Amino acid sequence: MSKLYFVVGSQDLYGEECLRQVAADSQKMVDFFNKKLGDTVTFELLPTVETSEICVQDMRKVMNDDDCVGVVTWMHTFSPAKMWIKGLQILQKPLLHLHTQANEKLPYDEIDMDFMNLNQAAHGDREYGYILARLNKAHEVVAGYYEHEDVLAKIRQFAQVAKAIDYSHNMRVATFGNNMRDVAVTDGNRLSCEIKYGWEIKYWGIGEIAELAKTATDAEVDAKVAEYESKYTMATDNVEAVREQARYEVAFEKFLAANKCHAFTDTFQDLHNMSQLPGIAAQNIMAKGVGFGPEGDYKISAFSAILMKMAEGRDGATGFIEDYTYDLTAGQELELASHMLEVPASFAATKPKIEVHPLGIGGKADPARLVFDSVTGDGIQVTLIDMGDHFRIICADIELVPVPKPMPKLPVAQIMYRHKPNFQIGTAAWCYAGGAHHSVVSTCLTRDDIAMFARLTGTELITIGEDTTEADLQKFFMPKF
């Protein structure tokens, strides 16, 4: 179970009785958080920071504990913030500054100097906020009484984002083949990805998968086909094409497990010894939280896995999407996002059908794939691009809508959405910002989640939504002179 340490600030000027009360109140908060948020993360209290030495010891513990995904801090009393400098310099995990109090209401009739010395977050948390700003330390602030539902929801959100960042730092991506020849936005600097986000991006030849697929036993392939039949409707007579995809998925699962990878890429330009492009194999494995990027797109592969991790425990779909084509009817513009094959099965609103059709490019055998209509409702579309000297996340609010008319000749999964605030501004903003044609769509993550991830990882963020105006477009791209 992932863990957050709770570190509370005070100092040794107030005497033993005050410090005992600080520790007791802090433990009460931790118990409350464990009761309310224990399904997402556990909380553990560390010794109250009374000196710089204790702060350093606490932060060493945070850094040395592999189960710990982040730290929550709060100043019960005044805690002179120079005591926090060396500890905060050690801390390299997500940090939440919880601006709260042990007491909800001010006891107007009873309040005396002892009470005010004990309960002075308004004083201590501002001193602490200054040193976080002075140190340029990435952090999130949540303000309010700790038992209030909105505060708990924010702490839960922080825990989910912190878990996703921890997952990011343990991310290993298997790239089978390289980036698709000549494609720009899906390429970039793998070394920068590892330095910034912790992703180990490792190359293997697709022949590794072809070999493993050939050695998959009948029993393994039977079990995989049975899994498909339990979840999907077989709508093809070409069972051998489906069994071939089952072999690929067996091979991917074995390879990823053996090499501790949580995400992978392939490219239709390198399918050496494979008879089909992975279709249902990729769609089914993505629905299990495994990251996938086509055309060698290692960034979207890793990023999609991280966002699926962030979405764990929430209702809705999250996964890889590729932008394709528009309906430009004036005032009713829609986008059809429907990759050649690889739309995650998690987006299915109806029971997907397994079909086999030609691909049109790549010169391989007809691949088996899942065909379905998508879930609808509010969502976000988010991508991460490599700007050469920094990374940029672009997050657009969208509305997933039902397909207005059937498309009987388009044998792929179909996702349609409406851009915000409208087509003209929404898509122009995406283009100005340099958004990729590969992205992650989610009906359960929000702009706030992405903003928190961006803040805690120090990543530039551009958001697009109802609040985006024509005038904003000029901010998204301005040539440097």
Residue placing its CB nearer to Mn ion in the complex, 42 or 269:
269
Contact, 178 vs 296, CB < 8 A?
A: yes
Residue with tokens 């609040």: 467
* Three-state SS at 381: strand
Residue placing its CB nearer to Mn ion in the complex, 131 or 185:
185
To Mn ion, the closest distance from the beta carbon of 338 in angstroms equals 12
In whole angstroms, give the CA distance from residue 124 to residue 30.
20
Residue placing its CB nearer to Mn ion in the complex, 168 or 338:
338
Residue placing its CB nearer to Mn ion in the complex, 309 or 437:
437
To Mn ion, the closest distance from the beta carbon of 186 in angstroms equals 7
Classify residue 364 as exposed, middle or buried by CB count within 10 Å of its CB (0-12, 13-18, 19+). middle
The two counts, helices (H) then strands (E), for the chain are 15, 20
Label the pairing between strands 438-442 and 377-386.
antiparallel
Contact, 127 vs 81, CB < 8 A?
A: yes
Neighbouring C-beta atoms of residue 289, cutoff 10 Å: 19
Residue placing its CB nearer to Mn ion in the complex, 73 or 439:
439
Q: Tell how far CA 114 is from the center of its chain.
A: 45
To Mn ion, the closest distance from the beta carbon of 297 in angstroms equals 7
To Mn ion, the closest distance from the beta carbon of 341 in angstroms equals 12
To Mn ion, the closest distance from the beta carbon of 263 in angstroms equals 17
* Three-state SS at 474: helix
Contact, 8 vs 48, CB < 8 A?
A: yes
Residue nearest to Mn ion (CB): 437
Q: Between the CA of residue 210 and those of 61, 220, 259, 293, what are the distances in Å?
A: 45, 15, 16, 18
Residue placing its CB nearer to Mn ion in the complex, 176 or 255:
176
Residue placing its CB nearer to Mn ion in the complex, 14 or 324:
324
Question: 139: closest CA among 100, 104, 99, 167?
Answer: 99
To Mn ion, the closest distance from the beta carbon of 439 in angstroms equals 10
Q: Which two three-digit tokens encode residue 384?
A: 């991460």
Residue with tokens 């497990």: 257
Phi, psi (deg, nearest 5) at residue 69: -105, -5
For Mn ion, the binding residues (CB under 5 A) are 437
Contact, 337 vs 419, CB < 8 A?
A: no
Residue 351 per-residue DSSP state:
P
Residue with tokens 């040794």: 12
To Mn ion, the closest distance from the beta carbon of 293 in angstroms equals 9
To Mn ion, the closest distance from the beta carbon of 324 in angstroms equals 9
To Mn ion, the closest distance from the beta carbon of 468 in angstroms equals 24
Residue placing its CB nearer to Mn ion in the complex, 58 or 295:
295
Residue placing its CB nearer to Mn ion in the complex, 23 or 336:
336
